[in-house]
Amino acid sequence: MKEVHCIISLGSNTDASHHLQQAYNLLVRAYPNITFSPIKETEPIGMHHNHSPFYNRVARFTTDQDADEVRAALKVMERFCGRRPDDKEHETIHIDIDLLAHGDTIIKPMDFAQYQHDIENL
């Protein structure tokens, strides 16, 4: 497969600086050409009990992996950084790393649109 650009988002509302740094370290090793947006603090959306702010950023890299391989790699990184299956249920997000776009395919259109300005500045 030829190299394609990927756009990912990262977010955390629990010891966020630590978890984003952990994810950064893993991502740089896996995708050495990765570039990151600055970290933004945002208000939680849809959280009923945990009102801690989120720290978010996006990143861009190229890879010859297909979308499923990238998603699988990101899920391994999430688990390594402390992500648990019940995080969303408990509104405690140690780290969330989502593949927004793979090549010309936008996988998460709403999230991609939310981060459009940050993506354009990568």
pLDDT in tens, 59-74: 999 999 999 999 999 9
- Enumerate long-range contacts of 51-55, CB under 8 Å, 24 or more apart: 52/13, 52/14, 53/13, 53/16, 54/11, 54/12, 54/13, 54/16, 54/93, 55/11, 55/12, 55/13, 55/16, 55/17, 55/20
CA nearest 59: which of 99, 15, 88? 99
Q: How confident is the model at residue 47 (pLDDT cuts 50, 70, 90)?
A: low
- Kindly give, in sequence order, each residue whose CB lies less than 8 Å from that of residue 33, ignoring residues fewer than 6 positions away: 61, 62
| Per-residue tokens: 16 | 């966020």
pLDDT in tens, 6-16: 999 999 999 99
pLDDT in tens, 82-119: 998 887 777 888 999 999 999 999 999 999 999 999 99
User: What pLDDT sits at residue 120?
Assistant: 93
Mean pLDDT of 24-51: 89
User: What pLDDT sits at residue 39?
Assistant: 96
Higher pLDDT: 48 or 114? It is 114
Look at residue 48 and tell me whether its pLDDT is greater than 70: no
CA nearest 13: which of 39, 57, 51? 51
